[in-house]
Amino acid sequence: METEMMNFTKTVLGIELGSTRIKAVLIDEKHIPVASGEFEWENRFVNGIWTYPMDMIKNGLQTCFANLKADVKAKFDADLTTVGAIGVSAMMHGYLPFDKEGKQLAEFRTWRNTITGEAAAELSRLFGFNIPQRWSIAHLYQAILNGEEHVKDIDYLTTLAGYIHWQLTGEKLMGVGEASGMFPIDSTTKDYDGTMLRQFKALTGIDLRGILPKVLVAGENAGTLTESGALFLDPTGAFKAGIPVAPCEGDAGTGMAATNSVRVRTGNVSAGTSDFAMLVTDHAPGVHREIDMVTTPAGLPVAMVHCNNCTSDINAWVNLFSEFALAIGHPTDKGQLFTLLFQKALEGDADCGGLLSFNYFSGEGVTDLDSGRPLFVRLPDAGMTLPNFMRTHMLSALATLKIGLDILTRTEKLPIDKLYGHGGFFKTPEVGQRMLSAAVGAPVSVMDTAGEGGPYGMALLCAYMLWKDEGETLEDYLDNKVFSEAGSTTVMASEEDIAGFSAFLERYKKALPVERTATEVV
């Protein structure tokens, strides 16, 4: 593309604050990524809370945006001062309370915390609806049960995406998919469930409508970038105010958009630091502690299996191998090392040769564990080879997800015709797809744009808001205007792979008491 031909008012910008990186993706009118920027970060465990300090959130966002501007400058020899629309997404759930003056009342409690068991259980019974521990309403009610002093001063309760949107626009609102991780949504009204709001008020005396964000659906305008919002994003002052802003969304919703999985009977799996599977349904299944009910960005019901732990243990082992390579005088690029070790997993025994691991850095709701300890276990005569070792950690990363999915497919009889995968687990071609396919017994596809992930999905939601036709649904917009000619690769596991995963999972489930004991004694 010629530099002078780039009209940035005909681009849209998606930004996502994920668990290990903040990334911005700029796409053009053809929905093709043209520039990006990112910032790497990690959550911290402070005073028993998984959190990100607020100064790190702001600095990380600004660094990510500065890197995007630098990429635009390098590619187009132009200064990025405006775009057609902006949207922000982030890790769903969690707890960010503020008082009337906008003062933060408690540390940011992320999705990773499993400290709300009492509240989640009581609310689930009250509503007849599963309330996971990481949901905002569970955090609020647990704070009430704990007698936390700040609760009486809460004027606004939001999520990380909702907070950033508020700073950019001054608007206290969010997209319905993100809102569905705060409080249950009625998909007929595309708003918080009225009956459950009344039940909560009767229980606590708190009218949640007064403190929760307003709910919008995809395609609605969610405000404009203010002068202070522009400076919050770009403290140099070069980026201009007045830009339309799309409803903020959660990483689940942007993952659905990025993989064209927003239509009924489609599904996707996001696999990175955490992993989750989303199946869009035409009805709500029965109530299960392991299954969350959220929505698409357009408000359709989605059955979600969310697992707190996925690739963190793999990353730790790869770091160890990287240290070994350096120690013997052969330093290896981390990306090349991941590719090599992932590919080795394909050479392993289908059932991992008797090796077993638990990837639990933190607690895991699906298996009812409030904390975690990464474990590697083997029989004395097991096949202790590098391929089996790597395959073990890859299957372990998917094992808890599979336990949850079995409830949907076997108990609730929800069909899985095909899944779309995205996230770091699928970065090495074929390997992650084959492992997931072995787990679910269905084909797994990865789109060519999957590497851009959530920020790309957020950019698509901006594009839909800006460029949709009158009456055009999000499903039709993605089908007809974005993905009609999109490239993808599809992998189906062999029967041997499927049987091997099943055998591995049986060992995994039988050994869960070992993991539980480890959390008590280590």
The number of domains in the chain is 1
Q: CA-CA distances (angstroms) from residue 469 to 418, 457, 466, 485?
A: 29, 19, 9, 19
Residue written as tokens 């140099």? Answer: 236
pLDDT at 450: 61
Q: Which residues of 397-424 are buried (b: 16+ CB within 10 A; e: fewer)?
A: bbbbbbbbbbbbbeebebebebbbbbbb
In sequence order, the β-bridge partners of residue 447 are 488
Kindly report the pTM of this predicted structure. Answer: 0.84
pLDDT at 1: 40
In a domain, 434, yes or no: yes
Element (H, E) at 366: none
In a domain, 281, yes or no: no
**Which of 110, 392, 448 has the alpha carbon at shortest distance from 259?**
448
Cα pseudo-dihedral 414, 418, 420, 425, rounded to 10: 90
Q: Alpha-carbon distance 358 to 374, whole Å?
A: 5
Strand 419-422 and strand 444-447: pairing?
A: parallel
pLDDT at 2: 41
In a domain, 465, yes or no: no
pLDDT at 219: 97
Q: CA-CA distances (angstroms) from residue 125 to 113, 196, 290, 420, 427?
A: 21, 11, 14, 33, 40
**In 248-292, which residue ranges form alpha helices assigned H by DSSP?**
251-258
What 3-state DSSP class applies to 131? Answer: coil
Angle, helix 334-345 to helix 312-327, in steps of 10 degrees: 110
Ramachandran area for residue 456 (φ above 0: left; ψ -120 to 50: alpha; else beta): alpha
Q: Alpha-carbon distance 294 to 159, whole Å?
A: 15
Domain range for 422 is: 312-449+488-521
* CATH number for 516: 3.30.420.40
pLDDT at 453: 77
- pLDDT tens track, the chain, 522 positions: 444 578 999 999 999 999 889 999 999 999 999 999 999 998 999 999 999 999 999 999 999 999 999 999 999 999 999 999 999 999 999 999 999 999 999 999 998 888 999 999 999 999 999 999 999 999 999 999 999 999 999 999 999 999 999 999 999 999 999 999 999 999 999 999 999 999 999 999 999 999 999 999 999 999 999 999 999 999 999 999 999 999 999 998 998 999 899 998 889 998 888 888 999 988 778 899 889 999 999 999 999 998 989 999 999 999 999 999 999 999 999 999 999 999 999 999 999 999 999 999 999 989 999 899 999 999 999 999 999 999 999 999 999 999 999 999 889 988 787 789 988 899 899 999 999 999 999 999 998 766 667 899 999 999 999 999 999 999 999 999 999 888 889 999 999 999 999 999 999 999 999 999 999 999
The amino acid at residue 336 is: Q
| CB 342, CB 394: distance < 8 Å | yes
In a domain, 192, yes or no: no
pLDDT at 114: 85
End-to-end CA distance of the chain: 57
What 3-state DSSP class applies to 232? Answer: helix
Handedness of CA 130, 134, 137, 143 (dihedral sign): positive
In a domain, 272, yes or no: no
In a domain, 445, yes or no: yes
Spatial neighbors of 418 by CB under 8 A, at least 6 apart, are 266, 267, 442, 443, 444, 445, 490
In a domain, 207, yes or no: no
In a domain, 357, yes or no: yes
